[in-house]
């Protein structure tokens, strides 16, 4: 119990929140689970023009996970109804179509006036909420927001990779 208190005390309030794994029942505390990791949080969608970014996100995860990067995906149906399926359908799509192995979490709302708690925190900290699918928030090892990247910034964009490498 003391270890959990210590982890939460060293983690920013941005990540001190419980979320449910995609298509699962288990809730996890992001601080406890991803303490000391560089975290990239992305709102995703299966039927979007940016959906191929799953390939790039998985490639980033595979390349840098051993150095401390974790990517957290949060499916959202907020933009253009581009994530209409059930969580099981989303999980199957991500795994079978893009081979996604990075952690995915419950379907969430990310738009400013209806955002779930995590995205309220991220949007306020960044001064911007996602305007479309595949918006990215980059956090350092203390769970503090470093930068926000709009949907057009791909996972292979040199600006994003340089920021990640600096934090690792």
DSSP β-bridge partners for residue 69: 38
Nearest-angstrom CA–CA distance, 123 and 112: 7
Q: Which of 32-36, 41-45, 74-78 has the lowest mean pLDDT?
A: 32-36
- The CATH number of whichever domain residue 29 belongs to comes to 3.40.30.10
Nearest-angstrom CA–CA distance, 17 and 26: 13
Catalytic residue, from 11, 31, 48, 94: name it. 48
pLDDT tier at 12 (50, 70, 90 boundaries)?
confident
Which residue matches tokens 């920013």? 12
For the question of residue 48 being annotated catalytic, the response is: yes
What is the mean pLDDT of the segment spanning 130-152? 97
* Residue ranges making up the domain that contains 9: 2-167
Task: Output the DSSP codes for 4-41.
Answer: HHHHHHTS-TTT--EEEBTTSS-EEEHHHHSTT-EEEE
Share of the chain above pLDDT 90, in %: 92
Per the CB < 8 A criterion, the answer to whether 107 and 75 are in contact is: yes
Q: How many domains does the chain have?
A: 1
């Amino acid at each position: 119990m003391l270890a959990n208190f210590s982890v939460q005390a060293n983690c920013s309030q941005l990540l001190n929140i419980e979320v449910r794994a995609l298509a699962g029942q288990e809730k996890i505390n992001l601080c406890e689970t991803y303490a000391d990791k560089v975290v990239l949080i992305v709102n995703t969608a299966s039927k979007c023009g940016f959906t191929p970014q799953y390939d790039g996100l998985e490639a980033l995860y595979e390349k840098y996970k051993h150095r401390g990067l974790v990517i957290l995906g949060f499916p959202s149906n907020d933009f253009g109804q581009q994530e209409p399926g059930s969580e099981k359908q989303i999980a199957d799509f991500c795994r079978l179509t893009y081979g996604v192995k990075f952690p995915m979490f419950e379907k969430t709302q990310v738009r400013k006036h209806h955002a779930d708690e995590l995205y309220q925190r991220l949007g306020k900290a960044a001064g911007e909420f996602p305007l479309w699918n595949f918006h990215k928030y980059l956090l350092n090892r203390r769970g503090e927001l470093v930068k926000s990247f709009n949907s057009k910034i791909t996972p292979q964009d040199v600006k994003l990779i340089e920021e990640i490498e600096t934090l690792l």
